[in-house]
Homo-oligomer: A and B are copies of this chain.
């Protein structure tokens, strides 16, 4: 059961001028399931992407990187679920390129103007006949799908679609952003596939959009994962069609740039949190905030150590305030000169540990009360600097094991 995750009405997701969507059932892995999404972008769109740093990256990621670095201008994106096209060697690369070529032929553009994405099982070859048939159908159906359909089409073990919109004004003119995301393997999202797409009608130059996408990814999708480690297929792409009447955004630090980047960050964070809320087997949504560290990096290290500890996560699943497990995680997070005697630990508004030891006023009932909530904030104060970092995670339940033990069946 997702934790406080609501599916938006289709009508609440704003269409983006310059973006046409198509969704089809191609039978990639299972029948009767929307599993191919095609997105066509208006000419002149800016596109920026942030991709997995996994050295075993999937074939489509390699092709995305090439095409985004090229000068052809991205005009289409094609996503399949059911098969990740990862660990597939040269065959996989050829398949990803053939998919781009098929989309290009149908849309009258160049293959280098197409970005391919795949998510699903690793180490199996794409069923190219079915995928290419799906691409053909999708090209004929462009414009018929809405963003909620699109969010559905990219789901794998997700139980709910993830999508949201934002509207703002730039130079007195309305600008709209709509995004979708998928991802569910949550104990270590670096190993599941996360896909995020945000489209906007704002006019943003490619280099500015690149800086903004990178910042938004750090604040959102990279704050639900291990420091920089990501799956074979993780991709986050922002496309700006420039179809709005608003003036062009020319820098990340101009007033308009700041306004737009803030909306982009917020939307990305909402999507990233939606992934955690729908984490495999999740029953709790946990915010881990580490404060008063010497650097953001060390705060993130501590936050990740807590957020990935199976012992911490199972304690939260059980609503058991076995909070010493959090201290143990702080201790092995990799800060060599950490002074345990300086550390405070709060669970929501309850002070649990003061100066590295159980606070005399802490009562187990208070910890128990917080642990029973569906949303909990763990706050660790290192008392050695002024830096802070926040990540989001979920608990580890029986259902996580069931889902991952049965994924392919």
Binding site for B on A (CB under 8 A): 53-57, 84, 86-92, 121-125, 185, 187-188, 190-192, 226, 229-232, 309-311, 314-315, 317-318, 320, 322-325, 327-332, 334-336, 338, 340-341, 343, 353, 355-358, 396-398, 400-402, 404-409
Contact = CB atoms under 8 A, between A and B. Distances in A.
A187 B310 contact: yes
B355 A89 contact: yes
Contact of A311 (B54, B188, B323, B396): B188
A315 B125 CA distance: 20
Residue of A54, A121, A343 ringed by the most chain B CB atoms within 10 A: A54
A340 B55 contact: yes
Shortest Cβ-Cβ A-B pairs, 3 listed: A89-B357, A122-B324, A56-B331
B397 A324 contact: no
Contact of A86 (B57, B91, B324, B407): B324
A191 B329 contact: yes
Given A123-B358, A232-B327, 7 more contacts: A56-B338, A89-B356, A124-B358, A188-B310, A191-B311, A229-B334, A322-B408
Contact of A87 (B356, B398, B401): B356
B232 A121 contact: no
B55 A324 contact: no
A235 to B, nearest CB: 15
Contacts of A407: 315, 320, 322
Nearest to A404: B314
A230 B343 CA distance: 19
A158 to B, nearest CB: 16
B401 A397 contact: yes
Contact of A325 (B90, B91, B191, B226): B191
B91 A357 contact: yes
A282 to B, nearest CB: 13
B232 A331 contact: yes
A28 to B, nearest CB: 16
Nearest to A187: B310
B358 A125 contact: yes
Contacts of A323: 123
B55 A331 contact: yes
Contacts of A408: 320, 322
Nearest to A309: B191
A336 B406 CA distance: 32
Contact of A357 (B87, B226, B311, B335): B87
